[in-house]
Amino acid sequence: MNSSFKTVITYGTFDLFHYGHLEILRRAKELGDYLIVGLSTDAFNRIKNKKCIFAYEKREEILKSIKYVDKIIPENSWSQKPFDIKKFDVDIFVMGDDWRGKFDELTDSCDVQYLPRTKGVSTSELKQIIDK
């Protein structure tokens, strides 16, 4: 690959896939040529005390259908990000700006960018509506 080729990585659970998810994936892909998505496994979500509506395999199928996503890897722990960045020769790490500052230690390995969240939609809000 030539030096202008940029690999981007982001992570998430992507449960109840919605427009906000699509937007962060689109904007992440616009930053480079190849987008890797670290998809939180069911076991990791339990560690995070996060209850998913859809199992990992279903969330992975949804992500596979998104044209911006080039590769999906399982996210099994908080600590794997630096290893993934090195393994996949990542140039840009992307997260929503609700995580601002949480991954700044990765700036030694790659460019870290926090993108603004899409206003008016979130999985937490959708779950609250469903629970009513």
DSSP string for 60-95: HHHHHT-TT--EEEEE--GGGHHHHHHHTT-SEEEE
**Residue-level pLDDT at 117:** 83
**Residue-level pLDDT at 19:** 87
| Residues noted as catalytic | 48, 50
- Name 124's Cβ contacts closer than 8 Å, sequence gap at least 6: none
Highest mean pLDDT among 4-8, 15-19, 118-122: 4-8
Decide which of 90 and 119 is more confident. 90
- Spatial distance between the Cα atoms of 2 and 34, rounded to a whole number of angstroms: 13
Domain definitions of the chain by residue range: 7-131
Per-residue pLDDT band at 28 (split at 50, 70, 90): very high
Mean pLDDT over 47-57 rounds to: 93
Q: Does domain 7-131 have CATH number 3.40.50.620?
A: yes
Lowest mean per-residue pLDDT among 14-28, 74-88, 107-121? 107-121
Mean pLDDT over 81-88 rounds to: 98
